[in-house]
Amino acid sequence: MSSWILKAMLGAGAVVLIQALALSKNFFLAGLVPLFPTFALISHYLVGTQRAVGDLKETILFGMGSLVPYFLYLGALYMLVERFRLPVALAVATAVWTVSAVALVVLWGRS
């Protein structure tokens, strides 16, 4: 149970850091913090200690593929943010991420 608390604290720490950066003169760095591999480190450690190396390598490759939905989310948000209110732009960009992530999972499952 204590490992769950540590994971929750890491997530909360990331949110606090993002908020602090968003209010600073270097506000753009708030976009870099979510890309720090906090959760990837946890994921890779857990898979790497509980599964075979081949499974870890597949997890790593899938993680590389997961950059595509994130890129599409950012692209959609970039194009929509000046055309719509922010909540609408975020919702549509999130829908783009969701559709592309589902496509990634389906395509990955077929390989």
Closest to 19 (Cα-Cα) out of 29, 10, 6, 7: 29
More confident residue, 52 or 111: 52
Find the length of the chain.
111
pLDDT of 1 over the 70 cut: no
CA dist 25 and 54 (Å) reads 44
Mean pLDDT of 81-104: 98
Rounded CA separation 108/62 (Å): 8
pLDDT greater than 90 at residue 6: no
2-16, 21-35, 39-53, 77-91: which is most confident:
77-91
